[in-house]
Amino acid sequence: MLLLVGLGNPGARYRGNRHNIGFMAVDEIVRRHGFSPWKKRFQGEVAEGVLGSERTLALKPQTFMNESGRAVGEAARFFKLEPKDVVVLYDELDLAEGKVRVKQGGGSAGHNGIRSIDAHIGPEFRRVRLGIGHPGDKKLVLHYVLSDFDRELDGWVKPTLDAVADAAPLLAGSDDNKFMTRVALLTNPPPEKPAKAPQP
């Protein structure tokens, strides 16, 4: 079984925030792959479905970001899951906008949601880092992550979420490199080769 976690803050006022791109990604995966309707469980909202051939529970913690680990820990303990069975999608300041990287384990890099999950299940879970770019000044970070995406300036958001949802079954198969390659191809397709001129 796979526990697929999206990170964000609950409530309408945060819905469009950069910090909530993890929620947005999991919402799109759930919609695209026909999961069950969301219901309240494990201090969060859950939806059940299948990715690839793997039974999958999508989870959006409804604690605030810095307590995300409470919901993740509760769900992981209930299903007796190992950290490697947990995949967390979240915003990453240190990646350019629209870049997506997967890794297992590591530090929190100052992300409060990741720090909380580390504390509850240990660090060896898999992380899908969704690049949102950096405002350029550390003092601007809090305002930046808690501000909404700009629909006109941030045209990369929907294509990235679509690509992550399309490639999500590869996460269930632990094909992290294939997942990253698939997302990159969908968001930056190679240019079409010009058709050869007919021979005279």
Selecting among 19, 33, 111, 134, the annotated active-site residue is: 19
**Strand-by-strand arrangement of the 100-104 sheet:** 39-41, 44-51, 54-61, 2-6, 86-92, 126-131, 100-104
Beta strands (DSSP E) in 42-189 are: 44-51, 54-61, 86-92, 100-104, 126-131
Cα separation, 14 vs 156, whole angstroms: 19
Residue 119's closest CA among 161, 67, 80? Answer: 67
Give the 3-state secondary structure of residue 20: helix
What is the biggest distance separating any 2 CA atoms in the chain, rounded to whole angstroms? Answer: 71
The yes-or-no answer on residue 19 being catalytic is yes
Instruction: Indicate which residues carry an active-site annotation.
Output: 19
